[in-house]
Amino acid sequence: MSQAPLPVPLLQLLAKLRAQGISDERVLQALASTPRELFLPEPLRPRAWEDFAFEIGYGQTISQPSVVARMTALAHVRPQDRVLEVGTGSGFQAAVLARLARFVFTVERIPQLAVQARRRLAALGLANVTVQVMDGSLGWRAHAPYDVILLTAACPSVPRPLVEQLAPHGRLVAPVGDLRRQELVRVVRNEQGFISESFGPATFVPLVGKEGFALR
C-alpha cells in the first residue's frame, strides 16, 4: 500500500526531535501518525506541525508537539500498559498515547473540551481511550493502578493521590512548579518507594482542583 508523503513541517519537526535526543521510534511514529490538524481550531490547521502550543478555547492550550514527544518518551509507554492522562484538552496527547498503550483513561474538567476530544478520538478510530469529565488532580481510582500517569497541566507539587495510583514500576510524568514556569518531573515507583528526577523546563496551563491550584 502506498503512503502519502509526510508534510514538510512534520519532517522538520521529526528531525528537530531526533536532534534533541528523542530517539524512540515508536514515539516518533505515534506522533507522526496522529493528524494534529484534527485537534486544532479551523484557522490554525495549516500550522498544525509548527512546534507551538495553540489556544483551543476555554483558556486552555494544546501542548507543543515537542513537549508531547518528550513527555511520552519519558513515560516509556509499552503496548500492554494502562495509562491515565490528567488534562485531556484537545485530545492530541491522548491520541498519541492510544497508539502506544493498551488502554488510555483521560480526564478533563471542562465538559465542552471533553466532548470535542471524544469526537476526535472516535473519528480516528481510537477505541481504547476513555474520556471522563472530572477533577483529575485526585486521579481516577476506579481504573487504577496505572503503568503510566501523565499530567498535562502544571501542578504545585506531584499530587500524592496520583503517585499512589501507580502500578509497581509505574512512571508518572508531570510539569511541577508555579503558575509561570515548571520543571518536567518523572516519578518512578520501585520496591523501595518512589524515585523522582527532573528533565528541564516546561510551561503548562494550571491544574485546577483539590491537589492543583485554586481557581482564580
What residues line the site for ligand SAH (CB under 6 A)?
60-63, 86-87, 89-90, 92-93, 107-110, 113, 135-137, 152-153, 205, 207-209, 212
Question: Which residue, 138 or 187, has its beta carbon nearer to ligand SAH?
Answer: 138
**Angle between the N-to-C axes of helices 65-74 and 92-100, in degrees from 0 to 180, rounded to the nearest 10:** 40
Closest listed residue to residue 102, CA positions, set 69, 140, 137, 148: 148
Name the minimum Å distance from CB 86 to ligand SAH: 5
The DSSP output letter for 215 is: P
* Cβ at position 75, least distance to ligand SAH in Å: 13
- The answer to whether 117 touches 130, Cβ cutoff 8 Å, is no
In the residue annotation, 23 being an active-site residue is answered as no
Encode 147-191 in three state secondary structure. EEEEECCEECCCCHHHHCCEEEEEEEEEEEECCCCEEEEEEEECC
The CB-of-106 to ligand SAH minimum distance in angstroms stands at: 8
**Is the Cβ of residue 5 or residue 185 nearer to ligand SAH in the bound state?**
185
Query: CB 90 → ligand SAH: shortest distance, Å?
Result: 3
Give the containing element (helix H, strand E) for 119.
helix 111-123
Catalytic residue among 63, 66, 157, 196: 63
Cβ-based nearer residue to ligand SAH, 107 or 149: 107
Rounded Cα gap, residues 84 and 30, in angstroms: 17
Q: Give me the active site residues, please.
A: 63
